[in-house]
Amino acid sequence: MSEVSVWFREKISRRGLLWGGLAAAGGSAIAGTAAGQSVHSGHGATSAAGAAPPPAHLAAHGSMITVGDVDNERNGFDPSRMVTDWETGSVSTLPDGRTLRTFEIEAIDKEIEIAPGIMFPAWTYNGRVPGPALRATEGEHLRMVFRNSGSHPHSMHFHGIHAARMDGVPGAGLIGPGEEFVYEFDARPFGCHLYHCHALPLKRHIHKGMYGLFVIDPDPARHPELADVARSRLLGTPENAEWQEFAMVMNGFDTNFDNGNEVYAVNTVAHAYMKRPIRIVRNRPVRIYLANVVEFDPINSFHLHANFFDYFEQGTTLTPTLRTVDLITQVQAQRGILEFTYKDHETGLYMFHPHQSEFTELGWTGMFDVVEAVA
């Protein structure tokens, strides 16, 4: 078979599965623009005759988005809340005066809905995909209490600095069902990091949903030359409260286990931020903690519409590593911090998406709703 026909067959099967799955669900469909393609092809509540037409912004990029809603309550997580939901654990003081921050994380098998009517048999941290967005401060001592209530061996492998025995690989914190392990290390370096399961086969464990953000805020006292910048990054300070911060994990789902993704998203649910744009107050700065965990596809990207941003590769510096860009690329486990503002813009809906066009149509695209003030 020629390369072109292999490529074509693969694209057809990836699309075909998503469309087929949605049709089978009975109440949902991708809103198509091809001639004769009905926008509402199902018979569920969301497509009943007489239903209100979709908001104008949903016509953007040719209406190639899912129709209907996932059941956030059944999932146990809501992408609109997840974007600002930081897990800061519990804090105490060690005998030497340092802060001890403890997180409790449990591996749980769970079926989740990743697009309207499409269920995915996930392996989760704390019942959500991505796992909790852990947030600590540089220099603290961290204790990650990990219980495996799933049906397979799992681990937590942190991108950070730690001892070999805390690495979350076989022989160093990879534990069986019913077991518990405590990872212990200091929070360093500051930055936008991640954690994920390191059980084998690795690609299966990662793409099943076992990953999450691991953000270490800089300690301003350790960075006197850029203390103001460090304070603006430190959760809980008045300087930080000025910022509108969002946690975003770019992920994908192989729903038919053919080593290719059928659904892409930020924070799991396809097109969630198209249907419910992320509210931004116009004159306050925006900071995104962004990580890519997409398996099978070698690269992902983030493009911001009508604006440019500064980028901090892996978040480990207090000055940008890229200035004035509107697109960055990330391979798996690459991550960074984006900073931008819409203060000189008109209010309105501004799109963000990867510049792999196929990903946008298969779920990974969203909107910022820039407003004067929050009512």
Is 175 a binding residue for Cu ion by CB under 5 A? The answer is no
- Kindly tell me which of 205 and 271 has the beta carbon lying closer to Cu ion: 205
Query: Which of these, 110, 129, 87, 104, lies nearest to 272 by C-alpha position?
Result: 129
Please tell me the distance from the alpha carbon of residue 105 to that of residue 155, in angstroms, as a whole number.
11
3-class state of residue 232 by DSSP: helix
Sketch the per residue contact string, 150 through 169, with Cu ion: x for CB under 5 A, - otherwise.
----x---------------
Token duo for residue 39: 């926008």
Mark the segment that binds Cu ion (CB under 5 A) among 138-146, 194-202, 272-280, 329-337. 194-202
Judged by CB under 5 A, how many residues of this single chain contact Cu ion?
Answer: 5
Q: Say whether residue 197 binds Cu ion (CB under 5 A).
A: yes
Cβ pair 154, 174 in contact under 8 A: yes
User: Minimum CB separation from Cu ion for residue 194, in Å?
Assistant: 14
Tell me: does residue 206 bind Cu ion (CB under 5 A): no
Span of 46-54, 77-85, 209-217, 292-300 interacting with Cu ion by CB under 5 A? 209-217
Q: Which is nearer to Cu ion, 322 or 333 (CB)?
A: 333
CA separation for the pair 68, 219 (Å, rounded):
44
- Residue 156 Cβ vs Cu ion, minimum distance, rounded to whole Å: 9
Tokens of 362: 């298969």
User: Which window, 33-41, 124-132, 139-147, 201-209, contacts Cu ion (CB under 5 A)?
Assistant: 201-209
Instruction: Give the pair of three-digit tokens for residue 201.
Output: 């086969």
Is 122 a residue that touches Cu ion (CB under 5 A)?
A: no
Rounded to whole angstroms, the Cα distance separating 94 from 118 reads 47
**Residue 25 binds to Cu ion (criterion: CB under 5 A):** no
> Which has the closest alpha carbon to 117: 8, 32, 22, 1?
22
Which residue, 21 or 131, is less far from Cu ion as judged by CB?
131
Strand-strand pairing, 348-353 and 300-304: antiparallel
| Of residues 148 and 356, the one with the C-beta less far from Cu ion | 148
Residue range at the interface with Cu ion (CB under 5 A); choices 65-73, 78-86, 147-155, 231-239: 147-155
Output the smallest distance, CB 252 to Cu ion, in A: 17
Part in contact with Cu ion (CB under 5 A); list of ranges 51-59, 98-106, 186-194, 210-218: 210-218
Please tell me the distance from the alpha carbon of residue 237 to that of residue 75, in angstroms, as a whole number: 32
Q: Does 293 bind Cu ion (CB under 5 A)?
A: no
d(CA 365, CA 353): 4
Q: Which is nearer to Cu ion, 20 or 170 (CB)?
A: 170
Do the Cβ atoms of 80 and 34 come closer than 8 Å?
A: no
Among candidate residues 27, 33, 66, the one with its CA nearest the CA of residue 46: 27
What's the token pair of residue 327? 């697109």
| Residue ranges in contact with Cu ion by CB under 5 A | 154, 197, 199, 205, 210
